[in-house]
A and B are shown apart, each in its own frame.
Chain A
Amino acid sequence: MAIDDLTLVKRSRDGDQTAFKLLVERYQRKVYSVALGMVRDREEARDIAQEAFTKVYKYLDHFQGDSSFYTWLYRITVNICIDFLRKHGSGRGEHVELDENVAMDSAEANIGALGSKLGTNPQKSLLRKELAAKIQEALEEVPEKHRAILLLREIEGMSYDDLARTLDIPKGTVMSRLFHARAKIQKVLSNYLELDESKSGIGSE
């Protein structure tokens, strides 16, 4: 039976490095995925993920245990990513700050084009792979804070409550940022599909 996170944290605090190694192995791929989605560079993502775990270990004594270990770990990861992007620049998405309280405009509401382009046909798996690369590019178009929330939701499957706790924002903001991020991704991807439609014939079901 797998040992729960909190027990491993306690053992790590007592100096059991094997316990901490288990925690690393448990979360390394997901932390790496979040970092990769945020910074879009494999080596930087690996470095950030390792730094996140190193930082977690360093401040293990500060972990109160009132939230889950993974929300704390992801918060640290996201913060390192945001610091990195601010230091190195992250493309257009970095400078866009959306007012979450403002209702979305009609362009952002243009959600829906993706379904018809993509469908669920398994024969389109090649297209999915191609789109995966495009997703990476699309993520860059999304402001970093919105990107973080989207990645944590999609990769980790975090609930809105967990997202609010992880990023220290109200639940309403979680909902709003997620909506904006998704609308942006849809817009970028559907534009891409529109351009490629004539070449690949993906527009037809």
Chain B
Amino acid sequence: MVSGEIMLLNPVCRTFITKLSPFVDGELRAAERVQVESHLAGCAECTHRVASLRAESALIRDGLELLTDEVDLRDFSKNVMARIARSRPPLLERWGVSYWWALLIAPIAVAATGVLIERTMLSRLYKLEAQGFDGKVKDPTDKQEIITKKAAAVARSYEDEPIPIGVYYEIDLPTYEDEVFRRIPDLKETPLVEQNAFERDVNPLLEAMR
């Protein structure tokens, strides 16, 4: 047979030729397969066509295998994972939450997170105390004590959890008002705002300032 030549098929071959490709692929039903096989037994041309289809399949497979075997794909998966990390969609998109919904949900989420953090902090504090850790700062003016306690809390917290919590002050830091009342005890009993402007006794204040 001369290739490239336009061939006129005999009518019998014409009915079988489209079945040769699925025949080679093993995709014909049993009955059709038997028909093709019996035709092939008596038709040299179609037998030749089947050989050609098989040769072509092998060529395509071999050809692409040859080409891809030469390619170094060692870093392929690493590059894919890096690409994934870069192209990771925003959290909201991944959760399928629209930005309008996010806007609506945000305040609730913030409140819930606040509660969660508070609970977590308290439970962690209790946990550390149960383990015998003393996180109380006895003297809030003692910077060294604060530093030491914080360092100890950090060290202990990292043992099992990433957020260092465990220092709190036994004595609340006095407010400005507390400090004034401490220095002028009389002022607490008769606050300045309740005094008549003309009767306002500024002497204790002046005294304290001295």
Contacts and interface: CB of A to CB of B under 8 A. Distances in A.
Interface of A: 17, 20-21, 24-25, 28-29, 32-33, 36-37, 42, 46, 49-51, 53-54, 57-58, 61, 103-104, 106-107, 109-120, 128-129, 131-133, 135-136, 139, 150-151, 153-155, 159-160, 175-176, 178-179, 182, 185-187, 189-191, 193-194
B6 interface: yes
Contact of A131 (B27, B59, B68, B89): B59
9 closest A-B pairs by beta carbon, nearest first, are A113-B3, A132-B63, A190-B3, A115-B51, A115-B52, A135-B63, A114-B52, A112-B49, A24-B77
Contact of B1 (A116, A119, A154): A116
Contacts of B79: 50
A133 B63 contact: yes
B104 interface: no
B64 A36 contact: yes
B191 to A, nearest CB: 60
B21 interface: yes
Given A36-B67, A175-B27, 9 more contacts: A32-B68, A46-B76, A104-B17, A109-B9, A129-B66, A132-B63, A151-B60, A189-B56, A190-B4
A179 B49 CA distance: 12
Contacts of A112: 1, 45, 48-49, 51-52
A175 B61 contact: no
B57 interface: yes
A101 to B, nearest CB: 12
Nearest to B78: A21
Contacts of B77: 21, 24-25, 28
Contacts of A151: 60, 64
A116 B66 CA distance: 23
Interface majority SS (helix, strand, loop, mixed), chain A: helix
6 contacts: A21-B80, A54-B87, A104-B18, A114-B52, A151-B60, A176-B18
Interface in B16-53: 17-18, 20-22, 25, 27, 45, 48-49, 51-53
A127 B64 CA distance: 15
A92 B5 CA distance: 22
B22 A175 contact: yes
B192 interface: no
Which of A54, A119, A178 neighbours the largest number of chain B CB atoms within 10 Å of its CB? A54
B48 A116 contact: yes
Given A50-B76, A50-B83, A191 B4 contact: yes
A110 B3 contact: yes
A36 B68 contact: yes
A141 to B, nearest CB: 13
A54 B53 contact: no
Contacts of B61: 154-155
B52 A50 contact: no
Contacts of B81: 17, 20-21, 24
A14 to B, nearest CB: 13
B8 interface: yes
Contacts of B2: 113, 194
Nearest to A118: B55
B73 interface: yes
A54 B4 contact: no
A46 B94 CA distance: 26
Nearest to B67: A36
A54 B21 contact: no
A28 B79 CA distance: 12
A36 B68 CA distance: 8
A81 B22 CA distance: 26
Nearest to B96: A61
A153 to B, nearest CB: 7
Contacts of A128: 59, 62-63
